[in-house]
Chain A
Amino acid sequence: MSDTLGTGTADGRTAQGTPGAGATSVPPAPPRAAARRRGRARMRLEIAVLSAPAVITFVAFVIFPVALAAYYGFYQWKGYGEPTDWVGLNNYKLILTDPAFHDVLWHNGLILVLSLVIQGPLAIGLALLLNQKIRGRSTIRVLIFVPYIISEIIVGTGWGLMLQSNGAVNDLLRGMGLGSLEADWIADPDLAIWTLMAIITWKYMGFAVILMLAGLQSIPDEIFEAAQIDGASYWQIQRRITLPLLGPTIRIWAFLSIIGSLQLFDLVYIIWGQYVSGTAGTSTMAIYMLAQGRNAGNYGYGSAVAVVMFVISLVVALIYQRFVLRRDLKGAVTEGTV
């Protein structure tokens, strides 16, 4: 991905002077200028016609709602008529001092860190392993991607049933003579967050491994061969060559994982629901937003929560890009922002 963005801007600067080349190449001076003017007007029209639908849809349904949230966030508003009850920063004050919000923020942070710490090393290890020329490699790849393709609702419903106290997981443990490990995986506040982490790992691991595999395959074989000839051991090769060269992929993956962790909603909402997630200690900012906003009819407050989430994600993303992704992206995404 890094390279995609990189070449994107690089090419943008080089690809110049092509438009209208066909038209300008023929006749002498005065008509040529006219033709060029006509050509340019036509080009403008084409640009407008081709880009307007996408730009309008995008601005109207992505950018505008976010801007609206910033506006509604200053009102106490039930969602009917025009917002009139201006409360200034009061919504934000309430959010930031609400212990329930502190809880969800803590959960999001925990999920973020645990996702990186659990999935990262596992994914790199598995990708190294699967990158060998083994039989059935393509089948393996398809199968490990399956959890990622299946929707959250199905993952949630399936795992929810398996993890019930009289469900398949406990039954399996009993069957293996590990009955003492039986637990209430979903409702027990000491366990719930780990259950959630296990499900998240299960669901997103395949994606991470496939990304890492793609990164590994972009490393030319010759480098490994050269290192082997120089007498490097397997572990030396992995540590000194593979990992550094896999760096850009790892950093992009980590970025996607961080953003995903901050916005986690579906899985928690489906398995734990609005109320149990609070007592089990798995609720996230997005759940808080839904519960305190739309479900409570407080659209002003819900919008303010959205703004807080957005600011947190943006700050984290910018910090990450500034200090970690800098080398990879060369300012492609943050262009004009940083």
Chain B
Amino acid sequence: MSVTTAASRTSSAEPKAPAGRHDRPQKWGSPVTYFVALLFVGVCVAPVLYIVLGGFRTNAQITTDPAALPRPWVAGNYLGVLKSTVFWGEFANSLIVAVASTVGIVALGLMVSFVIARYDFRLKGAMYSLFAAGLMFPMVIAITPLYLVIKDLGLVDNLLGVIIPQIAFGLPTTVIILVPFLRAIPNEIEEAAAIDGMSRLGFFFRMVVPLSLPGVVTVGILGFIGSWNNYLLPLYILNSQANYTLPLGVQVFSSQYSTDTAKVLAFTSLAMLPALIFFSVFEKRIVGGLTGAVKG
């Protein structure tokens, strides 16, 4: 490959005129860059591929040659998992918990962020600090007494016992992401709405909710993936297999079938699929949301 001035920034000491860096369409950078980037991507993806491909192998293949490609490919493991009621039951539980948590996080978060962003009252700063301080209270620290609270409420081994705390713990991030978003809605829009006789609540439902959609989507995705992947809380709260979410299911399955590695790999990759699909669909939003959070 011809060394075509990898973005003039990287290339050299000469005080080259940066002319047309924006004009030139797409360029190839230096081979070294590609090599390192590929290496990094490979390291990131290989273990995931191992899990997915491992599900297409037989146990005999895995035992004799742990790090090889499927030869021949077998679909039996995946089909077996897809036919099992256990997998779909846990899948349904995960889905219920994730959807309910996401809806709760978005609804409660949007309402309280609206208050913090656009109302003027004495406790406003305190309210914001309360949620911001919530970032310091991760679930791991609160989990023992949280379990006791859930137990007193009679919600042990109940999906609600997972959903409600997840909403509560999702609120700090939500408030921190949404408040600046809602503040950015110009006052003129609110005034125009008021002149047209719209109440503040009307303004909230008819203007704020649609206008803050991008922020809401970011928050919703974070909530969904966080819930889908949550392990600690279900571990404490859910005890009967009928109520297990997928992370617990993966753990139980992998100890139950510890000799059937191929099946465990198939189960594991099917369990991660929804989060991956969700991520790839909304990838721009997640990465963009992080960018926004950093840039402010």
Which secondary structure dominates where chain A touches chain B?
Answer: helix
Residues from chain A with a CB closer than 8 A to the CB of B140 are 263, 265, 286, 289, 309
Is the pair B40, A126 in contact by a Cβ cutoff of 8 Å? yes
Range for the number of chain A residues in contact with chain B: 35 or more
Is the pair A143, B41 in contact by a Cβ cutoff of 8 Å? yes
Q: Does B28 contact A (CB under 8 A)?
A: yes
Q: How far is the CB of A121 from chain B (nearest CB, A)?
A: 14
Q: Does A21 contact B (CB under 8 A)?
A: yes
Residues from chain B with a CB closer than 8 A to the CB of A149 are 225, 275-276, 279
Q: How far is the CB of B42 from chain A (nearest CB, A)?
A: 9
What is the CA–CA distance of A157 and B276 in the complex, to the nearest angstrom? Answer: 17
Q: Does B3 contact A (CB under 8 A)?
A: no
Q: Does B210 contact A (CB under 8 A)?
A: no
Q: How far is the CB of A228 from chain B (nearest CB, A)?
A: 6
The tally of residues in B whose CB lies under 8 Å from a CB in A reads: 124
Which secondary structure dominates where chain B touches chain A?
Answer: helix
What is the CA–CA distance of A172 and B50 in the complex, to the nearest angstrom? Answer: 12
Which one of A8, A225, A306 lies within 8 Å of B141 (CB-CB)?
Answer: A306
Q: Does A16 contact B (CB under 8 A)?
A: yes
Known contacts A133-B26, A151-B247, A336-B126; is-contact A202 B44 (Cβ 8 Å): yes
Counting from the closest, the 8 A-B pairs by CB-CB distance are A3-B296, A151-B229, A22-B194, A61-B168, A54-B112, A214-B291, A65-B145, A168-B67
Given contacts A7-B296, A229-B18, 19 further A-B contacts (CB under 8 A): A9-B125, A46-B115, A50-B112, A51-B115, A51-B127, A53-B108, A57-B108, A58-B130, A65-B148, A68-B149, A69-B141, A69-B145, A130-B37, A132-B6, A133-B29, A155-B47, A161-B261, A211-B294, A306-B143
A residues sitting closer than 8 Å to B (CB atoms) are: 1-9, 11-12, 15-19, 21-22, 43-44, 46-47, 50-51, 53-55, 57-66, 68-69, 72, 79, 126, 129-130, 132-135, 140-147, 149-155, 157-159, 161-162, 166-172, 175, 202, 205-206, 210-211, 214-215, 217-218, 221, 224-225, 228-234, 237, 249, 252, 259, 263, 265-266, 270, 286, 289, 293-294, 299, 302-303, 305-306, 309-310, 313-314, 317, 332-333, 335-337
